[in-house]
């Protein structure tokens, strides 16, 4: 009998032994026992760390971690699963930010549901790529079914379509790409000559609210639009887009010979959780013949809310909609999608390659998702949402989202009644913007005290809150996405913030008084 790796029957060489060892790490029918064992060890480590975490963060600094990670020789493997997991604990797991903790109140990162974690494990092992049918088969149809389901929740008709993306920034970018091409087609179609493309692009404008997401400006830059292509529309006292200002801005653009290629409304602003007046904005866009995009990356949880779906009334009139399931459907990153009311507009992202998706594939009716996406290789992230819906159901997701919105309303009322704090406009979703500003605090200390309080809280690791600016002044922000967070958790964090800020104010005042003139 020949030895493995030695076709002539000679003793295996060092190279042969190395190759056999390397092949032992591949996931296939011959390594199933190792697969089960290794993944179980990893799951056990994560479970233990989550169980041990008594705070969302350790407070570790970049200066503390960088030398440890920098000293690791990636050319010299440890050769042992437990040793590698021990090292992973030291460089990441121990100091990771744990969004599942009830006192993580910072960014739009949600705790995740177990069915989605199951989906993550399954999709990673099978490793389907969602670009072409011959790489994904049923996964292609499952993603399409989820797009159809989401489009139905939005209120789009049978002609709608969409595609999963990496996140809201990519979804917004692709939406602006489609809007740009549709606007260009309109300008060219209505022209007596053949306008120069750069000249047309220089005239295009995007209108978005002053509280909208920065990715709109980023998209304009990536799409080669003019430096002043994005015009911000003022918001009212509730931080919602002012429709009177929107109408005036559209009129001004037309008078100046500019082409409004898109209006971007927001359903859930990052800071204030507000939903722009979608029906009125849709009326204005329809009258002006303008593409309406609704960035519902945050507010898409309202699509399954048992009590608040009405807040999205009017979204069905949009030309395109961004949804981030990894914000308010409790999915792991990444899980997002772009939906369009007219699926034909997705052709602007299509490019045929003979080796991948030749034009004849369309003639043969082969469903290829790469025809709709600006990505090629793409994970089957839809699997996570699929299993979540099949195990939990949409009503359960909506109930969880309603709980955090209810909590935000309670937190806002508590802050509004607390003389230590000044609170901004109430949120329609689950954020609360506020700052420490008790009576008697010197105005020049307000910003510094709030900045110090946030930094000191993060350094302690006891809780994490976000920061932002409102009308040029530094504020703090609670982003509540964990249904396990309680009013008592919020109250405890507010006390910690007040203590840190008060300490800073006292120290700064004492230092100023003791400073010789």
- For the stretch 279-310, pLDDT in tens is 999 999 999 999 999 999 999 999 999 999 99
Distance, in Å, from the CA atom of 269 to the CA atom of 305, rounded to the nearest integer, reads 18
Helix H or strand E segment including 265? strand 259-266
What residues contact residue 210 under an 8 Å CB cut-off, 6+ apart? 232, 233, 234, 235
- pLDDT of 12: 64
Residue of 207, 177, 173, 181 lying closest to 281 (CA atoms): 207
Q: Measured over all CA atoms, what is the biggest interatomic distance in the chain, rounded to whole angstroms?
A: 95
> How far, in whole angstroms, is CA 1 from its chain's centroid?
57
Rounded average pLDDT over 144-173: 97
- pLDDT of 516: 54
Side-by-side strand order, sheet with 161-165: 161-165, 336-340, 320-324, 291-296, 259-266, 204-209, 230-233
Report whether pLDDT(5) > 60. no
Side-chain-side CA neighbours of 499 within 13 Å: the count stands at 9
Whole-angstrom Cα Rg for the chain: 27
pLDDT digits (tens, 9 = 90+) for 375-392: 999 999 999 999 999 999
Residue 36: count other Cβ atoms within 10 Å of its Cβ.
10
Report whether pLDDT(6) > 60. no
Q: How far is CA 31 from CA 21, 37, 41, 94, 461, in A?
A: 12, 10, 15, 30, 41
pLDDT digits (tens, 9 = 90+) for 199-223: 899 999 999 999 999 999 999 999 9
Share of the chain above pLDDT 90, in %: 86
- pLDDT of 193: 65
pLDDT bracket for residue 2 (50, 70, 90) = very low
Report whether pLDDT(440) > 80. yes
Report whether pLDDT(7) > 90. no
pLDDT bracket for residue 255 (50, 70, 90) = very high
Output 509 or 157, whichever has higher pLDDT.
157
């Amino acid at each position: 009998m020949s030895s493995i790796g030695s076709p002539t029957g000679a003793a295996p060489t060092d190279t042969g032994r190395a190759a056999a060892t390397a092949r032992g790490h591949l996931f296939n029918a011959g390594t199933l026992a190792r697969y089960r064992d290794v993944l179980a060890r990893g799951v056990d480590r994560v479970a233990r760390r989550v169980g041990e975490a008594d705070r969302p963060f350790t407070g570790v600094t970049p200066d503390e971690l960088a030398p440890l990670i920098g000293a690791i020789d990636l050319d010299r493997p440890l050769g042992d699963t437990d040793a590698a997991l021990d090292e992973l604990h030291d460089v990441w797991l121990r100091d990771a930010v744990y969004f599942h903790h009830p006192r993580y109140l910072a960014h739009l990162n949600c705790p995740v549901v177990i069915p989605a974690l199951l989906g993550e494990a399954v999709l990673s092992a099978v490793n389907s790529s969602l670009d072409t049918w011959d790489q994904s088969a049923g996964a292609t149809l499952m993603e399409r079914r989820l797009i159809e389901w989401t489009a139905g929740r939005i209120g789009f008709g049978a002609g709608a379509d969409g595609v999963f993306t990496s996140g809201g920034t990519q979804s917004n970018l692709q939406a602006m790409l489609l809007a740009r091409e549709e606007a260009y087609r309109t300008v060219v179609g209505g022209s007596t000559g053949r306008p120069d493309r750069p000249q047309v692009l220089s005239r295009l404008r995007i209108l978005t609210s002053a509280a909208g997401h920065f990715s709109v400006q980023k998209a304009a830059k990536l799409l080669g639009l003019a430096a002043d292509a994005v015009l911000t529309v003022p918001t009212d006292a509730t931080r919602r887009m002012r429709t009177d200002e929107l109408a005036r801005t559209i009129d001004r653009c037309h008078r100046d010979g500019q082409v409004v290629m898109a209006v971007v409304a927001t359903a859930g602003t990052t800071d204030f959780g507000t939903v722009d007046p979608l029906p009125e904005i849709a009326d204005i866009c329809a009258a002006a013949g303008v593409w309406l995009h609704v960035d519902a990356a945050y507010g898409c949880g309202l699509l399954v809310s048992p009590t608040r779906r009405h807040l999205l009334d009017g979204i069905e009139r949009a030309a395109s909609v961004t949804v981030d399931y990894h914000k308010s459907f409790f999915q792991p990153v990444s899980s997002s999608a772009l939906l369009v009311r007219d699926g034909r507009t997705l052709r602007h992202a299509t490019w045929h390659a003979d080796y991948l998706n030749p034009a004849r594939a369309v003639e043969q009716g082969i469903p290829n998702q790469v025809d709709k996406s600006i990505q090629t290789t793409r994970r089957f992230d839809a699997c996570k949402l699929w299993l979540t819906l099949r195990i939990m159901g949409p009503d359960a997701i909506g109930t969880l989202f309603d709980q955090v919105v209810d909590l935000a309303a309670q937190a806002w009322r508590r802050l509004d009644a607390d003389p230590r704090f000044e609170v901004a406009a109430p949120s329609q979703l689950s954020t609360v913007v506020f700052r420490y500003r008790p009576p008697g605090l010197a105005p020049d200390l307000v910003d510094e005290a709030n900045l110090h309080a946030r930094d000191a809280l993060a350094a302690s690791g006891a809780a994490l809150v976000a920061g932002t600016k409102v009308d040029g002044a530094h504020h703090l922000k609670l982003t509540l996405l964990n249904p396990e967070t309680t009013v008592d958790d919020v109250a405890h964090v507010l006390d910690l913030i007040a203590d840190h800020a008060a300490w800073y104010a006292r120290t700064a005042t004492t230092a100023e008084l003791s400073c010789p003139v």
